[in-house]
Every structure is written in structure tokens, then in C-alpha cells.
Structure 1
Amino acid sequence: MTNDEFPMTKEFLSPNDECKTCELAGRIGTFVLRPSFDIRHSDFVIVRTAVATLALAIGANTNGFAQGVSPNPPFSIQQEGESAWLVRPNGERFFSLGVCCVNQGASRQEFDSANPGYAAWQHYADSNRWAEADLKRLKAWGFTTVGGWSDFPAVRHCGAADLAFAPVLHIGSTAGAPWWDMWDPKIVQRMDEVAREQILPLRDDPRLIGYYSDNEIGWWNAILFKMTLEQSPTSGQRQRLIELLRQTYRNDWSELLRDFEPAPGVENWQELDRHGMLFLRPGGNGIRVERRFLTLLAERYYSLVHDIIRKYDQRALILGDRFQSFYYPEVARACARHVDAVSSNLNASWNDGSFARFYLETLHALTGKPLLIGEFYMSARDNRSGNQNSRGVYPVVVTQKERAAGFRNTLQALLKIPYVIGADWFQYYDEPTHGRFDGENFNFGLVDIHDRPYEALTRIAASLDLAGMKRQPARARPDASPGVPPAPREPLGEFEPTLALRRWDRERGFVQPISEFPLADLYVCWNEKAIYLGLYAQDVTEDTFYRDKTVRASDRAEWIVSVSGPDKPIRARIGAGLEPIIDEPTVRVANISGLNGNFRNIACMELPARLFGRDRFKPRDLIEFASTFVSHCRAYRVEWKGKFALRR
């Protein structure tokens, strides 16, 4: 990934226009793309071409008006006790286990022998035989659903095609929403066209669960703010932002200057009305206004896609836009008002397939909706496709046995969560040996590039009784209330992504937050020398907020810990990809964080026994502490406090 900005044209792109910019936002969820900060013109074309190809291939007739109701009963979501379920048209409740990218891979023309990838034509006489073989495999392996970016034309026309399906429409990303003016009739019309071309051929199919409107848009706050201010003064989106700023600061330019630094040439409201950029002033509270603007954009986007989908299909489920393994609370709340289920992709926090507890719990608390996992994945160094697993921060293990265990761990954890109704594995086949067009080169497949199944993983998938496991009564998860578990041998060891805190007992060491919508987990453990606190937080930090692209210490996330001994709390500045700053020399802090696409802030704090007034700790000792995490620019706050006994 690169951290470069990505200019976009301010002009509307029709399907036949050439893209006016050579580099497009990597934070845009695109066709078969994982987030990348160097997506180029050709990738945007892929989205538009894929949409058109899908519509044509499955026989879209777009000459008539789209109103009408399918004769087939729809899929639905129902509540049974504490659990939410997807329900088939015949009334059967099921957990949707899907697979993304069930397609034929590289064509004969696209195949590159120097960078070989999956190519169905090498193994099957035609697309029908490919579809029959693949669907037979997926059913035998226990999968129920064909997920995003699959070859729906071939799958739908296969005689054995009784698996459900849920396509990704790319309504927004194809038309430029939410980055361009969502009040521009041309943008809205293009969104309508994209939806219409895809929905009409699909809506009467009895296997259709519903539609994802987009994938991994990201909702990057700083980029959306910047791109909106770059629009013309006639832009409805820009005008609404200026009006929000005027209302917030009561038309007082001096008040705005406390929170923002204008670009040169912008010295008053009248000039800002016409042109110009604003940047966050370090130490100010401008982030609150930017989050309010994010709410406005999200409400507009979700209301638009809801109404557009319902215009062409009144009954299929609306499944959200598959958050990019993080979410802004403001966006999640707006989404909930316009969807049947909220969706998010899930990048495991650790390479054993486990994930931070707050992530889905808070998303559900914010939305009150059932959740779908749009993607989950795991890769291994030992693979038959030659994948190096080096272009991205995704969980990597050594062996296929470990990868299969990670798959099982993630899926079993999801099945225990009553409001999760489905999850899609990414993806059917491995990525090309040296990486796909954006460089991503992971062993994500159920099969390798030679069409051979990874049997350790597929055996586990086939062995799981999904409905039976989901019907098990929900049990309260353990936490640190009964006592703090012992620390691993090296509490600060392996402090790198997907490994830091992995060997901690994060179940019995989980500290319950006192905040209502936490965006972080806190864990505690001990040995005779120290108490250890582990923090796993969502902390979205963009350098685009600032004129010089530098995050000052005053705006970095802050971790504050108070213990019973010292008179003053311990304060650590963490995050933004910089070294931690700690105000207590006897305390050690380790930290992993980043900028832009890296939204995880992981830290460990070692608190020596003498800070608690002891020479050493022993079992049954009582400790008391309070902890606060304040995210970048003071946007969000999470608190914990309690008194705990140390257990063996």
C-alpha cells in the first residue's frame, strides 16, 4: 500500500467516459478488490465493465419500467428466541455460509504463464461443466451460498444450482458515491442505472437472498471532507458542508479558526463559499464537525441506495455495504435505518482466527440489526500456488492445518453470536502466484490455482453442523471479574500485527468496559513482577486531515491508566504509526499502529508491582485500576475500571 492521496475528477463519469484521473481512491470498495491505496484507472473500469457484463450475460432487459413483484416468495430474517435467522422461501431457517469469487478465473486471453492463476478452461470443457463441478463441491463442503463477484450467469443456469446467492451491486462506487456530489441528478441517475441493470435479471430468482449495495467503501472521513471541499460551489454536497460549518460556528469565522486551518487564499466565509480547503487545527475539536458531516453523507447514501433497490425489487433483503473491517459509529447508525441487515468484512485480529470482542458487539449495539460477515479469510505459507502472502495485513499461519483451524475458530465464534446470520469465505481459489493486478498475493482459496482442494480446510467446513451449532443456547463469555489470569511467559513478545497479545488469556482476562459503545477491548494478566494491560482499539487516523500531513502528539490517541498507588494517572500517547510517548519512566509500553489504511491501535502497558505499593504480586492479591482510551483527535472515548483478585 501507499499513503498517497488519490485525486478524483469533479466531473461526472458516464459509462463511456474516460476516467479523467490516473489514480483512483484505494478506499473505494471495488470489484474483486481489497482496500489498497494505489488503485488506478483500470481498476475503476473493472467495476463498470463487470456491472455491464453481468447484466448482459444474464439477459437483462432494461427497456421497460422496473416496477413489479416477483412471483416467488422471498428470503426473510426472523427472530427465534435470542437468535436471528435467515429463512428460506420454504420456511427453513439456516445460517448462510457463502464463498466469494466463485468464478472461472482468468480467461485464455488473460492467462499469464509468468504469473499463473486459476483458470477454469484448463480443467473443464465448458462453463456448464465448471459450474456443475463447483456447485457440487460447495454443497459437499457444507456451503449454502454463492457470494460476491461470482459467475452468476453460469451458476444460475446450472441444473444443480440450488445454492442461494447474494451479489454485490457496486451502486455507489460505480457512480462515484459517496465521494462526488450525491445531490447531483447525474450521479443519482447513474446509481439508478447500475442497480437496474443488475437487479432486473435477478429479482425473480427464488435463490436470491438479497443485495449488498457496495463493498468496503471505507467512509474515510478526511478524504470525504477534502473531496467535498474540492467540488464546485454549485455542488449540493459542498453547499451542505458549508451550511453545516456556518451553523456550527454561528457564522463566526474566528470560532471556525479555533478548529480549522484554512488553505491560503481563504480568509472569510465568502471566499470559502466559492473555493478553498480546510484542515484540522492540531489540538482543536474540528473532528466533531467532520463526524457530523459523515453522518449527513451516510444518511444520504443509504437512503438513496435503499430507495433505488426498492424501486426495482420490493422484497429482496438489503444487506448493507460490507464495512472494511472497521466502522464509524455515525455511519453504522445511519446504515441501520435503511437496511435489513448490516454487513461487515472481518479481518481476524489474530492469526488463530479470533477477533476483538468489541467489534461485532458494538456494531450490533449501535444498529440493532442482524449482522452478515461479507468476507473472512486465512492464509498459510505452505501452499500449492506459490503465494507469498506479503501484500496486505491479513492473518498468515505456517501450515494448512493451522489455516483450517483458523477457519474453524472464526466460524465457531460467529455461530455463537445470536445476531450473526451468515458469513462468506474469501475466496474460492488462491490468488495468482505473484499477485493479482493490485499486487495482493494470498493463499485465500478453498482450492489452489490448479483446482485442487485444500482438504484440511474443506473437511472442517463439511463437518460443521451450522444450524445445530447456531441453535445452541448462548452462553455468557468469561471475563476478568472472577480474577486476573496469569501472564504468558513473554507478555510483550511477538509484538507485531496478528500476533501481539495472541498468547494472552483474552477470555478470562477480558475487562468489561463501562462505556456504552466501546471501540476497544482491554485485557489484563499478571506475574510476580508486574500487571500487564493489553489494548486492542479501532483508531482511524488519516494524515489528510492536516495541511502538512503530520499528526501532532496532541492529536494522537491517549491511553490513561490510574492505579491505587501514584497520585497522578499514567499517560501514554500511542497511535499514528509513531513511537509511544509515556510520562512514567518505570512503565513500559509497546505499540503497533499506523495511518490511513491501518486502523488498528494495539498496545501493552507493563505496570511494575511497586506502582501498586508492593514488592511483588502473589495469588489472591487485590488490585484496582481505571483505564481510559481516547482515540485520534478525541473523537471517541472508552473507559474501564474495577477491583480484581489475582488468580493462579
Structure 2
Amino acid sequence: MNEAIQRRSFLTRLAALGTGMSVASLARPTVGADFASTTQPEPFGYFTLGQRNGRWWLITPSQVPFFSIGLNHIDPASLRYPENIHIWREKYGGSTIRWIRESVVPNLREWGFNTVGWVQEVTVRQWQHSRAFTVDEYRALDMPYCHLLPFTESHQWEKHTVHYDFRSDDWKEWCDYVARSHCAELAEERNLIGYFYSDCPCWIHDRPANDWRGPIFDPGRLESEAGRRELAELAGLYYRTTHDAIRRYDRHHLILGDRYEANAPIATEVIEAAAPYVDVLSFQDFRNPVTHLREWHEKTGKPVLLADAARIKWQTLPGEFTRNEGAWYAKTLLELFENPGCVGFHLCGAYQRNRARRYGLLDEQEQPDQENVALIRAANEQIHKEMVRRF
């Protein structure tokens, strides 16, 4: 079989993994994995969790084991600068749906990604992210994806928003509104893997940009038993309220929870409070994700997901751009795949660089980073071939 035919065969199998199709060359529709107990009242026909031979997997709607290989931060505004808006207008007719179908999907599949990890993108540094995709835009993807629910804005990078009072009636009403506006619309979508909450919430830490508000809970109070009980009670209320709001409107999808910053203090009380109400422990980690995710899985027994990570130069100046390190990505992906508790790795892309994030796999003129994309694609293909070999 020549290289071109091999590649078409690989992409066919990859598409099957992405949509949950049953393809004989990929795997049997039912693989005999032991399905896990999850927060999903009605998981059948949707992404869920299972174990086989001591390893955790996501399980597709057609009951095929699935390791999520995702790309984050996919925003069409990167094609709307004065210098490149002609591409947006002439090539895609000013349509986000066309751009997704004609640019995003072909590239992600060509590069070996099987998931859209999270579409929202940096707009201005230390401000809010861009909007999420609409349900019609997600349908245009026609591949697995995760969605973030804006229950709280306690992101470690965001400098404007006060903390919510998780004990208040207003907070409970807000959670119901978020679930009503997001989950009710997505509840029947079979490509949706599950819901994230806050991106790196500041439970017991802060950053210089938002030290004016402090953390959600004063870490000094954890030195006393009373303080630890209070944090456990507060976190339990937070996770129970968000869980219950989702389940009023969506009984099908996984809850992926907060995306904890693995290199900041994480209170045991928070993790223990989350455990009954989330299906996966999700982390951001730009330093040592392989070690940290192994430690958290061994400590809790729960499946873990690397929801955001990359190796790039952080301290860039306006007008300066950096690149994702493909060699680091390849090594990290392989080592995470060997962690029996890890169910996926989502690369902190972005799909196309903008002037706030300053890095991406495509530049503003849609030219790919050929060297690093090739390394990323080869790494992704290696993992997909290993999944095919095993199942």
C-alpha cells in the first residue's frame, strides 16, 4: 500500500473515531469495556467513561474506546484584521459555518486531532475569552467537542470580575440560567463529550493581575480544622449547585468540571467536594503535566484530562510571535497515553494566531507552521494507530 493510500485509510479511521461511526477496520461497535459509574442519568448513545484492562477510556456513542486528542482556541476573528479580512470575505463569504467546514475541519483531521477541546480564545490579555460556538457551528464541526459553562469568572488570568457568593439565591438562579441557556440546547448533541466549568479557578490562589480580589477562599484559614470544614462546605455547595443545574436540563453528557491549574495550590477539600459531582478531573499544566496528572490519578482514582497545555515562549512583546514546540507535544502526548488514568490531551493551540495570544498553528494568512505541524501530526497518528491496534 503506497503512502497516499495509507494516509487516506488512516483519515477514514480517524473520522470514524471522531464521529463514533462503526467501521470494521477500526474496532467492533461494542468492545466489552466495563462501563463506569458516572454522573450521567442517561449515558446510552452519548460519550461516557469506561475501563478495559485496567485503563480508563472515554467511550464513544457507538461504544468504542476513545482517547481525546484536541486542539483549543478556534476563533474566526483571527481572520478579520484589516490585513487579512479579504480572505474571510473572498474565500469563506463572511460565513463562520463555511470557515468551519472548509478550513477548521479539514485541517484538524489532516493534523490528526479527533476533538475540539475548547473553542474560546484570548481576545485581549487578561480579559475574557471570545464567545463559544453556537449549536449550529458545533454541528458544522461534525466531530467531538467540549463546551465551557460560564458559571463563574474566577479565572486566574482574568482581572475584572468579583467572586460570586456561592451561598446566595442569586448564584443558584444564575446557575440555572446558564444551564437553561447552554445545556438545554446541547442536551441531545451526540458529538458533545461534556462540560467544563471555570478555566483555572482561583480557589486558594491568585495572580498579580487579580490580587485586588484575592482567592475565593483565604488559604490562611486552612490552618485550622474549622477553616478546612468551611472550605469543604463551600466547595460542596458550588459543585452540587452546578451539577444539579446541568442535570435539570441535560441527563446525557459528562461533567468535566473546573480546569484546575496544576502548578498552583489546589486544596484537597476542593477536590474531595468535586469528586461526587464531576466525572473527570481536568487540569491546565504548562510545566510538568505528565507527572502531575499521574499523581492526581493515583491520589484520587478518578480519570484525568489534560485540558490545556503547550510548550511555547510566554513573555512575548506586541508584534512578536512564538511557536508551539512539536517535539515537546509528541513526547508529552505519548507519555500521557501511557497513563492508565488519562483520557485525553488538548493542546493550547491556537488554531490561528492572533495579536493577543501571539501563537497558533496557522498564521494570519493561513500559512501553517510546517515544521511543528508535521511533528504534531505524526504524534497524533501514532496514538490513533495504537488505538486501532489495541481495539
Q: Could you tell me the TM-score, scaled by structure 2's length?
A: 0.71
CA contact (8 A) 1:407 1:457 kept: no
The two structures, once aligned, show a CA RMSD in angstroms of 3.9
**CA distance 1:177–1:367, change in 2 (3 Å):** farther
1:404 paired to 2:326:
yes
Partner of residue 165 from structure 2, selected from 165, 181, 191: 181
Partner of residue 77 from structure 1, selected from 29, 34, 49: 49
Partner of residue 369 from structure 1, selected from 287, 302, 305: 302
Provide the residue aligned with 2:340 in structure 1. 418
After TM superposition, list the pairs within 5 Å mapping 1:478-517 onto structure 2.
Answer: none
Cα deviations across residues 263-312 of structure 1 (Å, max 9, x unaligned)? xxxxxxxxxxxxxxx9959xxx8465544432222111111111111111
**CA distance 1:140–1:182, change in 2 (3 Å):** same
After TM superposition, list the pairs within 5 Å mapping 1:152-551 onto structure 2.
Answer: 152-153=134-135, 155-158=137-140, 161-173=141-153, 179-220=163-204, 286=223, 289-325=226-262, 326=264, 327-349=266-288, 355=289, 357=291, 359-379=292-312, 386-388=319-321, 403-433=325-355, 436=356, 441-443=357-359, 445-463=360-378, 464-469=381-386
Quick one: distance in 1 between partners of 2:260 and 2:389?
Answer: 28
Which ranges in structure 1 are unaligned for 5 or more consecutive residues? 1-68, 230-236, 242-277, 350-354, 390-399, 474-648
Provide the residue aligned with 1:253 in structure 2. none
Question: Residue 106 of structure 1: CA displacement?
Answer: 4.4
| Aligned residue-pair number | 323
What SS does the corresponding residue of 1:155 show, helix, strand or coil? helix
Quick one: distance in 1 between partners of 2:112 and 2:338?
Answer: 18
Cα deviations across residues 24-43 of structure 1 (Å, max 9, x unaligned)? xxxxxxxxxxxxxxxxxxxx
Larger radius of gyration: 1
Quick one: distance in 2 between partners of 1:378 and 1:119?
Answer: 29
What SS does the corresponding residue of 1:84 show, helix, strand or coil? strand
Cα deviations across residues 369-425 of structure 1 (Å, max 9, x unaligned)? 1111111112259x9x95356xxxxxxxxxx6x811011111111111011001111
What SS does the corresponding residue of 1:142 show, helix, strand or coil? coil
**CA distance 1:324–1:120, change in 2 (3 Å):** farther
Quick one: distance in 2 between partners of 1:317 and 1:207?
Answer: 12
What SS does the corresponding residue of 2:308 show, helix, strand or coil? strand
CA contact (8 A) 2:152 2:164 kept: no
Pick the structure with more helix per residue: 2
Which ranges in structure 2 are unaligned for 5 or more consecutive residues? 1-40, 121-131, 155-159
**CA distance 1:71–1:367, change in 2 (3 Å):** closer
Q: State the one-letter code of the partner of 2:199.
A: N
Q: Could you tell me the TM-score, scaled by structure 1's length?
A: 0.44
Identity %: 25
Quick one: distance in 1 between partners of 2:110 and 2:280?
Answer: 28
Question: Residue 154 of structure 1: CA displacement?
Answer: 5.3
Quick one: distance in 2 between partners of 1:100 and 1:380?
Answer: 17
Quick one: distance in 2 between partners of 1:308 and 1:120?
Answer: 38
CA contact (8 A) 1:221 1:290 kept: no
Quick one: distance in 2 between partners of 1:154 and 1:120?
Answer: 19
What SS does the corresponding residue of 1:166 show, helix, strand or coil? strand
Question: Residue 318 of structure 1: CA displacement?
Answer: 0.6
After TM superposition, list the pairs within 5 Å mapping 1:69-148 onto structure 2.
Answer: 73-106=45-78, 108=80, 111=81, 120-121=88-89, 124-125=92-93, 126-132=95-101, 133-148=103-118
Quick one: distance in 2 between partners of 1:215 and 1:119?
Answer: 32
Quick one: distance in 2 between partners of 1:79 and 1:422?
Answer: 14
